[in-house]
Amino acid sequence: MSVLFQGKLIENLSFGHLLQIGGRAENKDSWLSISLALGGCGEVEMFDIPFHMLVDVANEKIEFKQLLNGQWLEVDSEEFETEKFRQHFSVTIAVDEKKFYVAINGESLTFVRYTGPQMKLAYLMIDGNLITLNQVDHRKYFALTWPPAQICQGKDGLDFTHDIPCPLQPGNIMVLTMKLLGKADGWLRINFHNATNSKRIEVHINLRFNLRQIIRNSKLPKKNPDVVEWGDEETKGDFPFDDISKPFKLALGFTKKSVKMAKDGIFLFKYGYRTAHVLPRLTGAKITGQYGMIARVLGVEHLLSDNPKCKGFEQYSDSS
């Protein structure tokens, strides 16, 4: 099943969690669907989908369904001024012990009861006629807010933001499936900020296509604790990006003292953190294209290796 975005969450969506999904619909014949499933993407009919939201922009209607034991159930239908989806929109899905609460652009819409077994919602699928999908943030609002410092997508002009609801730990692997549009000699930036101080960019990965280099750096305080500055760039390594017209995968393996990246099953680099013990304070990925390049994120998959040094993580970057 081909969808606009699919992924596996870093933690099951459960009480105290919320998803914030942002983008912009096309002008004509637009629709949007958001599904939360108990099983893997691409095998929908084999797994329960306790939450399915379908936005019919043309008919100004939002429908909610559930797929339980192979049967689709109509749950709710709401009239809504769906023209708002043709501007930048934000859908928030907050979860308590028995319900999904849905808000559009910060305004409460409805709630959907969860009627299945104990939640193990780990898979997200988004589809539709969208010009952009630039936000898939997974956050925790109770009992502890995480991340504590949250970056506003609209303010920062990101192509994609992906907060995570928990601290990273050694062995976490993040797999990004991406496609690049626009100018072929632009830049692609992937940043991981400090969760308690968003000005600090703890890990900065910059794919500079004009120079055919992958830059690694950090933006941290030096003399003045209130002023962050770029450090020395690391550039050693190959640049395996000859054809940007096709989607590709990047695997990022997080260890106690460094992050590693691979593409096409091949190791590219290891970058040592420049702040001691910072791994649990890293945010999710903030991604943007520069100088005419545009990043489209098609999927984010989170895995946890039983090896804290992420041995063998390269295999998850293989697109073949």
- Domains of the chain are 1-145 (2.60.120.200), 153-319 (2.60.120.200)
What strands, in cross-sheet order, belong to the sheet with 228-230? 107-113, 99-104, 89-95, 17-25, 130-140, 160-161, 282-290, 187-194, 197-208, 213-221, 228-230
- Pure H helices in the chain: 153-156
* Range with lowest mean pLDDT among 24-28, 71-75, 185-189, 210-214: 24-28
The tokens 């769906």 sit on which residue?
82
The secondary structure of 36-78 as a DSSP string is EESS-TT-GGGS-EEEEEEEETTTTEEEEEEEETTEEEEEEEE
- 198 C-beta neighbours (distance < 10 Å), count: 17
Cα 116 versus chain centre, distance: 26
The pLDDT value given to residue 155: 45
Helix (H) or strand (E) holding 140: strand 130-140
Across the range 116-141, mean pLDDT stands at: 88
3-state secondary structure of 99: strand
The pLDDT value given to residue 150: 65
For residues 316 and 149, which has the higher predicted lDDT (pLDDT)?
316
Sign of the CA dihedral with 26 first, then 300, 98, and 169 last: negative
Examine the pLDDT at 302 and tell me if it is beyond 60.
yes
42-313-45 Cα angle (round to 5) = 10
pTM score of the predicted model = 0.94
- Cα separation of 303 and 169, whole Å? 11
